[in-house]
């Protein structure tokens, strides 16, 4: 690069890094701890308390529930949280540092893939795409990169599986297996890696397919290894009869997505996805059309290329295309699933940056036309604008901050500790859940039979005796 281009690159990289730092800071320290994070945190807390790998079972009868199928964030995320909790660190920070580390891996992996595909400009663009995407709308969001959820860790592991796929397919398989044990929905990425392995294989026709199959057995076995080990631990812990019931519940949960029939349509889902880029939906759609159009043009023009570098980029492009289609297509066509873009987020975060980088490759190294470079420039501007808007919105004042939440919970925690309260029921599921967990009590749900005689925590007025009134939250006597 020329000196001017080098300077421009480092200025843009510094601005991008600053944007990520702002979003990370607010996600870690200002966003309130919310219900899904709190429910996930019950597993590391119970593990440290000697209760095994178990949740508080708030969605499964409100009793300690080993290997709870309703906890879809897996041990790859929750076991490291347990290790940090064991140091005595504040539980919210301990919970959020692990996903935050995976966010750093996601951004770094996207940048590495972008650099391999089309150099510095593609590296910056790929690293900016996750910052432009936001899944914080709706009742089941990803508030930010530090949320104690499995979607971002799964995406990070899928990205690094792509990074190592060409040289170490066995390691790629293992990383995909770890992604599955971060968030089960990562299984949808398997066709993407199968396509990439096929493209990277030597030869053509049946010879290529045979080579692909020979190269695939070890990666596929390693994909299954983390899940096999986890389920073996469940079998040894639960015993055969309880393990069979655990598997049945897991299958039911996976098939239903943990939801009833939301009655949503394909158009509603795609509109929700378009609205999740911090920009007007039509701008996001223009960006998507440019990225897909350029990427497809580049792949078609270089399909018969004998250059290894072209074949690698084509493998990345097809893997990203198939992966993005699998996640978005599954979610968009599943009418039972709500309009929560969090569901396909692992695929969006893992594969959309690759598609953007391939678009730059097509515009700068394949299509020698001014219109292609102009289109790539427009794509870069759209992503940069989305990232800037996301950074600005992350800094906006919130109705409730983490510090305010902690102050409101402090009197509740004192009362729980002084009265040696083991369980508190949240009423209802939602705003009352996180304060229960932060109070130090086990988390139940108010309508569970096991919670009939248990005090309730609510943000509303008590209909029974008020045991503690902390302003934002109250603990009420059991009805």
Tokens matching residue 289: 């059309």
pLDDT of residue 478: 92
In sequence order, what are the residues at sequence separation of 6 or more whose Cβ sits closer than 8 angstroms to the Cβ of residue 392? none
Residue 362: φ, ψ to 5°: -65, -40
**Is 155 part of a structural domain of the chain?**
yes
**Is 58 part of a structural domain of the chain?**
no
**Is 89 part of a structural domain of the chain?**
yes
| Residue 95 or residue 3, greater confidence | 95
12-57: per-residue pLDDT in tens? 999 999 999 999 999 999 999 999 999 999 999 999 999 999 999 9
Q: In whole angstroms, give the CA distance from residue 125 to residue 104.
A: 16
DSSP structure class, residue 115: H
pLDDT of residue 4: 84
Banded pLDDT at 396 (limits 50, 70, 90): confident
pLDDT of residue 214: 79
pLDDT of residue 455: 96
**Is 427 part of a structural domain of the chain?**
no
pLDDT of residue 140: 80
Q: In whole angstroms, give the CA distance from residue 403 to residue 387.
A: 26
- Contact 249/69 with Cβ under 8 angstroms? yes
- Contact 344/272 with Cβ under 8 angstroms? no
Strand ordering across the sheet containing 474-476 = 442-445, 423-426, 456-458, 474-476, 466-469
Q: Of all residues in the chain, what percent carry a pLDDT higher than 90? A: 81
Distances (CA, A) of 436 to 35, 48, 287, 413, 428: 10, 18, 43, 9, 11
- Contact 332/360 with Cβ under 8 angstroms? no
Average pLDDT, the chain: 93
How far out from the chain centre does Cα 110 lie?
15
Q: In whole angstroms, give the CA distance from residue 394 to residue 435.
A: 23
Q: How many domains does the chain have?
A: 1
In sequence order, what are the residues at sequence separation of 6 or more whose Cβ sits closer than 8 angstroms to the Cβ of residue 280? none
- Contact 426/432 with Cβ under 8 angstroms? yes
pLDDT of residue 257: 65
**Is 287 part of a structural domain of the chain?**
yes
Strands 466-469, 423-426: parallel, antiparallel or unpaired by DSSP?
A: unpaired
Cis ω before 326 (30° cut-off from 0):
no
**Is 448 part of a structural domain of the chain?**
no
335-361: per-residue pLDDT in tens? 788 888 999 999 999 999 999 999 999
> 358: closest CA among 328, 320, 387, 384?
320
**Is 10 part of a structural domain of the chain?**
no
**pLDDT above 90: residue 75:** yes
446-479: per-residue pLDDT in tens? 999 999 999 999 999 999 999 999 888 999 999 8
pLDDT of residue 260: 63
How many other C-beta atoms lie within 10 A of the C-beta of residue 220? 20
pLDDT of residue 205: 66
Continuous H helices in 30-143: 35-48, 75-85, 91-118, 120-132
Q: Which domain holds residue 97?
A: 72-394
Distances (CA, A) of 160 to 107, 250, 289, 310, 383: 10, 27, 26, 20, 22
pLDDT of residue 252: 85
**Is 78 part of a structural domain of the chain?**
yes
Average pLDDT over residues 82-86: 97
Residue bearing tokens 């990205």:
159
b/e sequence 134-155, b meaning 16+ C-beta within 10 Å = bbbeeebbbbbbbbbbbbbbbb
Banded pLDDT at 203 (limits 50, 70, 90): low
pLDDT of residue 258: 64
Banded pLDDT at 129 (limits 50, 70, 90): very high
> 163: closest CA among 4, 320, 396?
320
């Amino acid at each position: 690069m020329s000196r001017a281009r080098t300077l421009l690159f480092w200025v843009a990289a510094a601005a991008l890094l600053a944007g990520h730092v702002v979003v990370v800071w607010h996600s870690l320290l200002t966003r309130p701890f919310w219900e899904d994070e709190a429910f996930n945190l019950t597993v590391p807390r119970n593990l440290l308390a000697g209760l095994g790998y178990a949740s508080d079972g708030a969605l499964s009868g409100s009793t300690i529930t080993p290997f709870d199928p309703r906890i879809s964030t897996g041990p790859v995320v929750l076991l490291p949280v347990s290790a940090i909790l064991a140091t005595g660190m504040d539980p919210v920070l301990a919970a959020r540092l692990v996903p935050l580390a995976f966010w750093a891996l996601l951004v770094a992996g996207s940048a590495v893939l972008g650099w391999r595909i089309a150099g510095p400009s593609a590296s910056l663009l790929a690293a900016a795409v996750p910052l432009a995407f936001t899944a914080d709308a709706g009742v089941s969001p990803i508030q930010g990169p530090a949320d104690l959820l499995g979607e971002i860790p799964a995406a990070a592991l899928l990205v690094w599986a792509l990074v190592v796929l060409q040289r170490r397919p066995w390691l790629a398989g293992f990383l995909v297996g770890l992604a599955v044990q971060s968030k089960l929905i990562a299984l949808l990425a398997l066709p993407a890696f199968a396509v990439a392995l096929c493209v990277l294989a030597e030869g053509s026709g049946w010879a290529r397919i045979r080579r692909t199959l020979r190269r695939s057995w070890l990666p596929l076995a390693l994909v299954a290894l983390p899940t096999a080990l986890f389920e073996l631990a469940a079998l040894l812990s639960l015993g055969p009869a309880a393990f069979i019931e655990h598997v049945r519940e897991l299958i039911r949960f996976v098939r239903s997505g943990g939801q009833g029939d939301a009655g949503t349509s394909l158009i509603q889902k795609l509109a929700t996805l378009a609205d999740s880029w911090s920009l007007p939906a039509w701008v996001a759609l223009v960006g998507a059309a440019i990225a897909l159009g350029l990427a497809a043009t580049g792949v078609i023009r270089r399909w018969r290329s004998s250059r290894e570098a072209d074949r690698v980029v084509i493998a990345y492009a097809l893997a990203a295309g198939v992966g993005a289609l699998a996640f978005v297509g599954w979610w968009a066509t599943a009418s039972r699933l709500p309009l929560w873009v969090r569901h396909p987020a692992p695929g969006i975060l893992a594969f959309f940056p690759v598609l953007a980088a391939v678009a730059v490759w097509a515009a700068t190294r394949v299509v020698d036309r001014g219109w292609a470079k102009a289109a790539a420039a427009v794509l870069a501007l759209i992503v940069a604008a989305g990232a800037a808007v996301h950074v600005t919105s992350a800094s906006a004042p919130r109705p409730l901050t983490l510090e305010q939440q902690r102050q409101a919970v402090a009197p509740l925690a004192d009362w729980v500790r002084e009265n040696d309260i083991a369980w508190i029921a949240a009423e209802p599921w939602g705003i009352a859940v996180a304060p229960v967990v932060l109070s130090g009590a086990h988390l139940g749900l108010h309508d569970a039979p096991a919670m009939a005689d248990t005090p309730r925590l609510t943000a509303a007025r008590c209909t029974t005796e008020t045991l503690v009134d902390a302003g934002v939250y109250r603990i009420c006597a059991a009805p």
